[in-house]
Structures are given as structure tokens and as C-alpha cells.
Amino acid sequence: MKLSGAEILLKMLESEGVDSIFGYPGGVLIGLYDEMAKSNIRHYLVRHEQGAVHAADGYARISGKVGVCLVTSGPGATNTVTGIASAYCDSIPMVVLTGQVPTNLIGNDAFQEVDIVGITRPCTKHNYLVKDVNELADTIREAFHIARSGRPGPVLIDLPKDVLAGTANFKQPKGPVTMRSYNPTVTPNTKQLTKVIKELMKAKKPLIMAGGGIISSNASQALTDFARKLQIPVTTTLMGLGAFPGSDDLSLGMIGMHGTYRANMSTGDCDVLLGVGVRFDDRVTGKTDTFASQAKIIHVDIDPTSIRKNVPVSIPVVGDCKATLDKLNELLTGENLTEIPEKRAPWLKCIAEWKAAQRLAYDQTDVIKPQYVVERLCKITEGKAIISTEVGQNQMWAAQFYDFDQPNRFVTSGGLGVMGFGLPAAIGAQVAAPNDLVVDVAGDGSIQMNIQELGTAMQHKLPVKVVILNNGYLGMVRQWQELFFGKRYCATQMDVQPDFVKLAEAYGATGLRATKPEEVDEVLKKGLAAEGPVIMDFVVEREECVYPMVPAGAPITEMLLV
């Protein structure tokens, strides 16, 4: 069957199960868009290409599928770089399709030509420039395979205009993709796992640290079973929130710079630390040579290059998190677990004391506290909403005060920390979960970075809700200036702000505002129940800080408390 490159691309996307694409057209893509109008794939027109990538990111996290975005050459392609880098840091499976000038013009400084393959090489898992229409089908298959297998990540395919317009004989490729140079290790080594069990059985003060890898490999249940059988407390990273039920007695909450007192103290004191699907990022470890210094560290990760990158590891396990935890659960059946509760009692008691000594708390005054807004949001939504965040204090308060009992409910730019992520990611999440309530918890600074995506939400009837914790500052930077730079507030005050209620209305959305604590519930209830996209502007305490806080580079047990 002779087909055009555009037709082949669409056939291949359909065969990969793609139903939604987030994109923005341009000259080199007009022919492809013309074809796409005839296909079953839904296209979501964003307002800025950065929005397309973040939306594909949110869609991928909630659907468990590969997110796809499509943008034109040159400026369209460069506008995606931040979103690609964010997905790369957070290991999100994604295929980014970029248009390119015709092959005979590549390298000639043609109009809207940019070397996007060169630009994105360090922030993609892999990328391709397709020079021949005959290679298109196999390239697409390979790209999806790479994006979703092993440690997931973004893959970029650059598509010159003449390749999309050219024709080739098309035969649907069949069978699994095989690549000699790429074979991630999914199944862990049983000998290593036997050692893991031995260490954990021997341990007096074991601790599990669960990361985003648990969520992306669907290992939450396996982790929960394992932790409960061995009565091991679990702390999660920001990316791992929801990997273990936050309401479980064994849950210590989040670890790291703004982690809970009990999680950070336990890390300092534990004798065996089992890290699963975590990167040991500096926001988690603080000063690395003091991190878990009493402990033997066991690290499970599908990416061997992640192991021993940041901390010394006694037992490395290369494998998929779910495959590993399933196998560990299997191996445990032969162990005598009856003595476990008695053996764990002193350690769990010690943790309970840390918990009682320092809870996440804030002082209620007659000004709205940002923590209170998140707490009420959690209560009113019964902890069931999908929460995306922007970056800054809003992100940390969402992580601390919303209770995540399930995986895939918290969508945040963890690794790169991209302001402007939350609204487009919420849009992608809403496409993936049309019947769920999706709320972006935002700062007044961050929301202005991609506020234009409210237009996308309106056009495609995606009823995302935005909760702005409006402190009139770039709050997180202001917090550092307050604590470490003698309160010299430089370039963090937003002197000119839009009226967010009117801004929402200008897009045809609903806008609401609360300025007093007693108005919070009413605005939340009204806003969450309203049809279509809503912006809720909460005018909060201007100089509130996020606590606990570990100063950058300090040991994580040395926290500043309220």
C-alpha cells in the first residue's frame, strides 16, 4: 500500500494506541494537520508549545500511556525544550514530534530551521531526524518502545516537510521491537534479592524510601504489601507521593528539604535504607556525606547509571520496581514473619515520638493561611482530586497538606521544577481522566507563566480548576531572602498583578476570590462545583514560610522548624 509520510505517521500513532495529541501547527505541518483532521486522533490546540509538552506530561502520568505532542519547526520546536527537560528529569514517557524544513534545506539556515536534534540531545532519552520516508514507520515504533520501556523518558522525532509529503510502500510492522544496543534489565538478580531480604530481616531500624519509579511501574500495591509484611516505615520523595498510602500508620510522609520531621529524623537514624525508584536527588539527601550515615543503603532502580551516582550503595539491584517488589514478596513467604511486630516495636515507637514532637503545623490568624486553603481543599475533595502544582511554596504546601492515598493523583514538575507547569499539566490530566476533578494548586507568579492555557481549557471544554495561593511575591525565593539574605527582598515582589477574577472572566471562565479565612470554604465549594474552568484567587498571608526547611547543603536532620 503506497501512503504519504503523513498517512504513515498517523497509522503508526494509531497502532501505538495514541488517542490524543497536544499541539500547535505551522508551515511545515499543514499537510500533516490536513491528514489528521480525517483520523480518529483528537488534537488539542494549545496556546504555547510549552503548554503542549506539559499537557502531554500530565496526560502520560494519569493515563499510564505515552504522551504525544506535535509542534512546528524552529520556534515551535525550541518552545518545547523546557517541557522536554522536565519530562526527562521526571522519567515521563513521551514522544515529541517536531516539523522540520525539507531535507534539501537542512543546514542552509532556511526559514524556521533549527537543529532541534542537537539542542535536545542532552535532555531526551533518544532523538531522531528522519531523512527518508521509508524509515518512518520503524522509527516511530522504536521511539514509542524507547519512551515507555526501561526508565521512561521523552523521545523526539524530527520530521522534515518532504518526508511527510513523500510516499512509501507501507506494511504495518509486526512483532516486538528489537534493538541490539538497547535492552533494559527488567528482571532483578535473585541472589541480590536474597541479600536484600537477609539485611532487612536482620535490621533493627529499617526504612523504605519510595520514589516516582514505584508509580511509573505500577508497584504501589506490591510496595504496600511488602512494607506491611515486614512492618517497615515508608517515606516517599516528592515524586513518590501516593506510592504508599499517606494515611497508613507506617507512612512517614515526604522526605527532604521540606519533608516531615519524622521522615528526616528516621533517615538519620535508620540502619538499613531501601531506596526504590528514587534518584537520591540533592533536595532529598541534603549534605550527602551525612545522609543516612548509620545505614547500609540498598538501591533498586531500572537505570543502572542511577545507582551509586549520588550516595554509596551496599546492595545494588537493577530491575523494574514492580518486578523487584513482586519477587521480594514471593521470597518472603519462606521467612518467619511472626517475630516481626515485636522486633519492630522500639523503632516504631521512636518514630511515633518524633511524629508527636513535630507535626506539620501553622498558626491560624485572621489572614488566610495558604496551608489552610490546601487543607480545606483536601477535606472538601475527600483527598480524591488529581492535584497538579506549579513550583514554589504552593508546590510544597500541596505536597504537605493534601493527603495522597493513591498513586497517580499528584502531578508536579519534581526534577526540573518548572514554574508554569501546573495548568497545562492539569489540562493533560483532565484529558486522560475526563470524569475526575483536576485542580492546579498555583502561586501567583507561576500561574502567569502559562495562564494563556486557560484558553485551551475553555476551547476543549476541560473543566480544570485553579487554586491560586496569592501572596504577591515569588514566595519561595522571598522565603530564602528572608531566611538567608537578611530579608533583602530583591526582584521577588510582584508589584503589578492582573485581577485574576477578571482575567478568568476575560477567557469566559469563572473567577472567584476569597480574602478572609471564613470565605475559603464557600469559594472552594462554589468553584469546584461550577461548570467549566475556574480560577479561585485566595489572597493569603504574604510572608508565610514553608517549614520544616533544611537549608541547602545541610544534613537533612538539621531542619529549621516553625
Task: Choose between 215 and 398: whose C-beta lies nearer to ligand TPP.
Answer: 398
Closest separation in Å from C-beta 392 to ligand TPP: 2
Rounded to an integer, what distance in angstroms lies between the CA atom of residue 450 and that of residue 390?
Answer: 10
Task: Choose between 297 and 423: whose C-beta lies nearer to ligand TPP.
Answer: 423
112 carries an active-site annotation: yes
Rounded to an integer, what distance in angstroms lies between the CA atom of residue 432 and that of residue 19?
Answer: 10
Closest separation in Å from C-beta 446 to ligand TPP: 3
Please name which of 43, 56, 49 lies closest in space to residue 95, comparing C-alpha atoms.
Answer: 56
The grid coordinates listed for 395 are 508546590
Closest separation in Å from C-beta 484 to ligand TPP: 15
By beta carbon distance, the residue nearest ligand TPP is 443
Closest separation in Å from C-beta 418 to ligand TPP: 5
**One of 112, 221, 406, 452 is an active-site residue; which one?**
112
**One of 7, 16, 35, 49 is an active-site residue; which one?**
49
Rounded to an integer, what distance in angstroms lies between the CA atom of residue 12 and that of residue 138?
Answer: 9
Task: Choose between 302 and 546: whose C-beta lies nearer to ligand TPP.
Answer: 546
**One of 111, 353, 516, 522 is an active-site residue; which one?**
111
49 carries an active-site annotation: yes
**One of 11, 65, 125, 161 is an active-site residue; which one?**
161
Closest separation in Å from C-beta 474 to ligand TPP: 4
Closest separation in Å from C-beta 398 to ligand TPP: 10
Rounded to an integer, what distance in angstroms lies between the CA atom of residue 371 and that of residue 359?
Answer: 13
111 carries an active-site annotation: yes
Task: Choose between 344 and 478: whose C-beta lies nearer to ligand TPP.
Answer: 478
Task: Choose between 242 and 414: whose C-beta lies nearer to ligand TPP.
Answer: 414
Calculate the CA dihedral of residues 423, 522, 548, 295 and round it to 10 degrees.
-70
Rounded to an integer, what distance in angstroms lies between the CA atom of residue 299 and that of residue 314?
Answer: 8
**Rule CB under 6 A: which residues touch ligand TPP?**
390-394, 417-419, 443-446, 469, 471, 473-477
The grid coordinates listed for 146 are 524507547
Q: Is 41 helix (H, G, I), strand (E, B) or coil?
A: coil
On the question of a cis peptide bond just before residue 548, with omega within 30 degrees of 0, the verdict is: yes
Rounded to an integer, what distance in angstroms lies between the CA atom of residue 385 and that of residue 230?
Answer: 31
Please name which of 416, 379, 412, 409 lies closest in space to residue 394, comparing C-alpha atoms.
Answer: 412
Which sign does the torsion angle of CA 484, 487, 488, 491 carry?
A: positive
Task: Choose between 212 and 475: whose C-beta lies nearer to ligand TPP.
Answer: 475
> CA–CA distance from 300 to each of 90, 317, 382 (Å)?
17, 5, 33
Judge whether 392 and 419 are in contact, CB under 8 Å.
yes
Helix (H) or strand (E) holding 272: strand 272-276
**One of 94, 476, 536, 549 is an active-site residue; which one?**
476
Helix (H) or strand (E) holding 535: strand 534-539
Task: Choose between 129 and 469: whose C-beta lies nearer to ligand TPP.
Answer: 469
Closest separation in Å from C-beta 480 to ligand TPP: 9
Judge whether 226 and 248 are in contact, CB under 8 Å.
no
- Rounded to 5°, angle at Cα 429 from 425 and 430: 115
Judge whether 418 and 257 are in contact, CB under 8 Å.
no
Residues annotated as catalytic (active site), given as ranges: 49, 111-112, 161, 476
